[in-house]
Structure 1
Amino acid sequence: MSKGGIQGDYIKDVAQIRKIIKESENFVFFTGAGISRESGIPTFRDKDGLWKKYDPSKLASRTAFISNPKLVWDFFYSRQRLVCQAECNDAHSAIERFEKTIQERSCWVITQNIDRLHQRAGSQNVIELHGNIFGVLCIECGKREQYNHDNFFNNFSEEKIPICTSCNNILKPDVVLFEEQLPPDEWRQAVQLSSECDVMFIIGSSLNVSPANTLPYHALKNQAVLIEINPNVTEMTSIMDFSLRESAPNILSKIFDLV
């Protein structure tokens, strides 16, 4: 295996990865916004990403929510509408098929995404590091409610800010905003799974958001094989065993169809 990115003809790489999969027991898929790009959901940090167009400090931070919840909710309502209209792509489906294929072995998805497309594709073992866009949380009483893409807008109107039915305070999207910590239980589980895995697929993540970007290092300490799938070079490409410059829907199908 070559470190630091393997480019060009992937036939040999795919064959090696298939052999590694057959000899391994514990798998983690660490996914970022890039895996949902082909579902029509914009990424955040690419050249055409959301944070090139919008200021996250005004639309996706805790300070922004406290000072102007309507503006933040307008932004999230538009994102929720977009996600409602999106469909799972072949990358989400390939991971779900792989999970079913190796039922007697361990397979988990640890995602930075808030779109729930992994669950809609049928993946069962999903850890959401940043929450999800169809949950709501009362920051006063702590009440949480979870909805789905097919019923969220049956319960909430884009004309109004959601209100907690228990304490009558404003609800916030149950996602991790800037200035907020990751959910501790999910983070502990993500670290444990990463520390125990034999193979980690890192798919569509820029790997520059902390602390989520430390998970590949936890896998590396366990001598796991790191397989990066990303059209772009990332800050951690140099530590990867395989770094495939392909779209996730295309390359995952090639890897898993014959596993």
Structure 2
Amino acid sequence: MAKILFFSGAGLSADSGLGVFRGGNGLWDKYDINKVCNIVTWRANYNMVHEFYSKRRCQYVDAEPNKMHKVIAELQNKYGEEKVVVITQNIDNLLEKAGCRKVMHVHGHINYIHCTECLNEIYIEGEYKPLKCEKCGSVEFKPSIIFFGEQAPKYYDMYQAFAGLEHCDGVAVIGTEGSVIPIAQILGTKTNGVKAARLLCNLDKSPYIDDRFFDEVIYERAELASEKVSAFAENILR
């Protein structure tokens, strides 16, 4: 039973108006990454951290899925969660808004915060306001997002998903430069790495990804490439 794995980064949601984290006009160009996304320093910058992610949540409330989100969701609903595996580095909920029923968020989800004492997790939209944990009474909450220097529990599941791909399967890499999660290393060469058919869709060429090891390469906005990606997936799944 052939399956396809979609692996996405911030470029997937850029056409929905959500800023990418790196590159021209990236969010990290406007905020100090070592203050708002660092497991060692975040407590010292507690208010700034929550201000930053509150702004992101407010931005995400009105954001709508673009054509690529919808294509991925349509494929998952058509063929099922076992045949269309969706893994994203993104912390937004646009894949779910588009209709995806199962998404692995390897870097966490912006709409959740958790108590640092008992790990009680709370769903939140919009601005963060100080609150007390209903379970333990703590007043310290951390965004449920993986900070730099923090362990990412979902990485194990992600690596297992890639390791399970076979010759008849496919993998579509969309909107990631490959600097945080080294997708090029994970896939390897076609001779010594993942055997599945490969598609790469990025806005620009990345120094971290050798596109020679992909069967199909698309350099354009994710939304504009949605039909090509859909055709690639359908050829795998039919």
Band of TM-score, shorter chain: 0.7 to 0.9
Task: Return closer, same or farther for 1:214/1:140 CA change in 2, 3 Å cut-off.
Answer: farther
What's the CA shift for 1:115? 0.3
**Aligned residue among 117, 120, 123 for 1:146:** 123
In the TM superposition, 1:45-194 aligns within 5 A as 45-103=22-80, 106-147=83-124, 152-153=125-126, 158=128, 160-167=129-136, 168-183=138-153, 186-194=154-162
What's the CA shift for 1:255? 4.1
Q: Tell me which of the two structures has the higher relative contact order, counting C-alpha pairs closer than 8 angstroms and 6 or more residues apart.
A: 1
What's the CA shift for 1:246? 1.8
Q: Secondary structure at the match of 1:72?
A: helix
Task: Give identity over the alignment, percent.
Answer: 29
Aligned length: 226
**C-alpha distance in 2 between matches for 1:138 and 1:233:** 40
**C-alpha distance in 1 between matches for 2:88 and 2:184:** 11
What's the CA shift for 1:213? 6.3
What's the CA shift for 1:254? 3.7
After superposing the two structures, state which structure 1 stretch, 57-66 or 206-215, moved more: 206-215
Corresponding position of 1:249:
223
What's the CA shift for 1:248? 1.4
CA deviation map 1:112-133 (0-9, x unaligned): 0000111111112210100100
Task: Return closer, same or farther for 1:230/1:218 CA change in 2, 3 Å cut-off.
Answer: same
**C-alpha distance in 2 between matches for 1:143 and 1:212:** 32
The runs of 5 or more residues in structure 2 that have no matched partner are none
CA deviation map 1:146-192 (0-9, x unaligned): 34xxxx24xxx54x334322222311110001111112xx2222112
CA deviation map 1:85-107 (0-9, x unaligned): 11111110011112233239611
CA deviation map 1:208-233 (0-9, x unaligned): 00466654349972311221100111
Q: TM-score when scaled to structure 1?
A: 0.79
Task: Return closer, same or farther for 1:254/1:144 CA change in 2, 3 Å cut-off.
Answer: same
Q: Superposition RMSD on alpha carbons, in Å? A: 2.3
Q: TM-score when scaled to structure 2?
A: 0.86
- The structure with the largest helix share of the pair is 1
**C-alpha distance in 2 between matches for 1:51 and 1:213:** 23
What's the CA shift for 1:46? 1.4
In the TM superposition, 1:202-213 aligns within 5 A as 202-210=173-181
